[in-house]
Amino acid sequence: MPVTYAVLSGRYRPLSRHIKWHQPVPKSLLHMSCRCCSPLRLPQFRVDVQHGPPRRFRPRITHIMLMESTCRRRLHTQTILVAPLMFTGLLIGLWIWKCIMMVVFQNKIIYMPGLPPTARSERIADWLSRCGGLQWREERTKAADGTDLAMAVATVPLPKGNRQVAADVGKSVVAHVYVLYFQGNASSIPPRLPDLSWVLRAVSDSKQYALAPMELTFVCLSYRGYWTSRGRASEPGIRLDAEAGANWILQHHERTFGKDSTTKPIFLIWGQSIGSGVATNLAATGRIPEKLPIQGVILETPFLSIRSMLGTLYPQKWLPYKYLWPFLRNHLDSYANLKLMAQKAEEKSCDAPFIYILQAERDELVPREQTEKLHQRCIELGLPVEKGVASVAFHQEAIARGPGKKLASEAILKLTKRALDTSR
């Protein structure tokens, strides 16, 4: 007959008034549990028993059926807490997902060659009318891994007085100046040519130094993935691109003047924003020809490192970005590179390159403190350094306004004059 039992203090007892017997709960039953109840806390259950002999009346359990009416969850969540818990879980999930995406796709996040949308389809011819008569041409070279790279190249004279003065062809050319330019992020080379052309014309027209009959060749390197260059941008790849630009300059110099020529190349590098990290990478650890030592570095609106910019752009404690620096594969650490540059000059017993820092007065992206730290770092390491501030200029406008253009042209002339004086 079916009888209902309940577990009380480790023994199950019949709930029927007519049955007075009871017996210990079997061990197999003690380890039972249902979906809602924890072990050793059994709810009421119903059993089917078969009676034995009259003198030895002991029920034998043949079937157990848990009663759903008494099987209740011991721990449960109030309905009012369901929405907040789900929302919190969603935020945590999004936070973790964002962290993973930042680590996996950091190259695409840091380097933005597709901005603006027309960056990959720009042409030099479309901007020549704004270059003040300066003729730019496109050249190609290859990195060590075979990546095809694009460059924009122009040459201007460096006469005494102004650019209309004819060079003394009878006088041997002592040196030829090369400036390797590393662009900033989120753009391509052609839209930068008008501002760079103004700087080059100011250099050519300057009456500050007598440099005739020298000339200056300006080489704008387009990193892999930018403009019409092939490949995808990454710090290791861009290192190879910078080295390829330096090798092209030496090859161009030897083709123009001959391998045994007495005309020496004066090699200067110029990095703008993210390009400042590329420039210091090349000067600190770059594999460049011994015939082409770096004699000057122009850092336009530079920053300390990618890690420092994470903390600057995302200072909020609840954002994951600044906590992911151990997983960075791109560093562009100019602060550390300056020390390597000083050590390299000391090991080779040669002059360290002169550093010129061009700061934008109203830089909305890179804090002034970072520029000051770089300047102080050069002083501490004994690197020759000078700093200029482009007044009334934002981050992208350092050479877009007159004061910044003038400072940039003066920096090129100062570095050239210093390189000539040290080589004599």
Inside any domain, residue 108: no
Residue 21, pLDDT above cutoff 70:
no
Q: Is residue 27 domain-shared with residue 122, that is, in the same domain?
A: no
Q: Which residue has the tokens 């008569």?
A: 133
Residue 168, pLDDT above cutoff 50:
no
Mean pLDDT of 334-338: 97
How many CB atoms within 10 Å of residue 361? Answer: 16
What tens digit of pLDDT does each residue of 276-334 get? 999 999 999 999 999 999 999 999 999 999 999 988 988 888 777 788 888 999 999 99
Please name which of 171, 177, 162 lies closest in space to residue 423, comparing C-alpha atoms.
Answer: 177
Q: Strands 264-272 and 175-182: what pairing? A: parallel
Inside any domain, residue 144: yes
In 161-305, alpha helices (H): 193-205, 235-257, 274-285
Q: How many domains does the chain have?
A: 2
CA distance 105 to 17: 73
Residues 6+ apart with CB under 8 A from 203: 156, 158, 216, 409, 412, 413
Q: Is residue 126 domain-shared with residue 22, that is, in the same domain?
A: no
Inside any domain, residue 285: yes
Q: Is residue 130 domain-shared with residue 54, that is, in the same domain?
A: no
Inside any domain, residue 77: no
Inside any domain, residue 246: yes
CA distance 12 to 48: 14
Inside any domain, residue 91: no
Q: Is residue 219 domain-shared with residue 146, that is, in the same domain?
A: yes
What tens digit of pLDDT does each residue of 223-257 get? 999 999 999 999 999 999 999 999 999 999 999 99
Residue 14, pLDDT above cutoff 90:
no
CA distance 36 to 155: 83
- % of residues, the chain, pLDDT over 90: 60
pLDDT averaged over every residue in the chain: 83
Inside any domain, residue 218: yes
Q: Which amino acid does the sequence have at 9?
A: S
Tell me what pLDDT residue 134 has: 93
Q: Is residue 119 domain-shared with residue 35, that is, in the same domain?
A: no
Domain ends where: 46, 66, 86? 66
Domain ends where: 11, 44, 66? 66
What tens digit of pLDDT does each residue of 360-373 get? 999 999 999 999 99
Inside any domain, residue 132: yes
Residue 18, pLDDT above cutoff 90:
no
Q: Is residue 145 domain-shared with residue 249, that is, in the same domain?
A: yes
Q: Is residue 54 domain-shared with residue 159, that is, in the same domain?
A: no
Tell me what pLDDT residue 376 has: 97
Mean pLDDT of 75-86: 74
Tell me what pLDDT residue 48 has: 43
| Sheet with 11-14: strands ordered across | 23-24, 11-14, 2-8, 45-50, 60-66
| Sheet with 294-300: strands ordered across | 137-142, 148-158, 214-221, 175-182, 264-272, 294-300, 354-360, 385-390
Q: Is residue 243 domain-shared with residue 362, that is, in the same domain?
A: yes
CATH number at residue 359: 3.40.50.1820
- Of the pLDDT bands very low, low, confident and very high (cuts 50, 70, 90), residue 83 is confident
Q: Is residue 212 domain-shared with residue 294, that is, in the same domain?
A: yes
Q: Is residue 352 domain-shared with residue 228, that is, in the same domain?
A: yes
Q: Is residue 140 domain-shared with residue 23, that is, in the same domain?
A: no
pTM of the model as a whole: 0.79
Give the domain extent around 38.
Answer: 2-66
Lowest model confidence (mean pLDDT) among 137-141, 145-149, 204-208, 303-307: 204-208
Q: Is residue 46 domain-shared with residue 122, that is, in the same domain?
A: no
Mean pLDDT of 1-19: 44
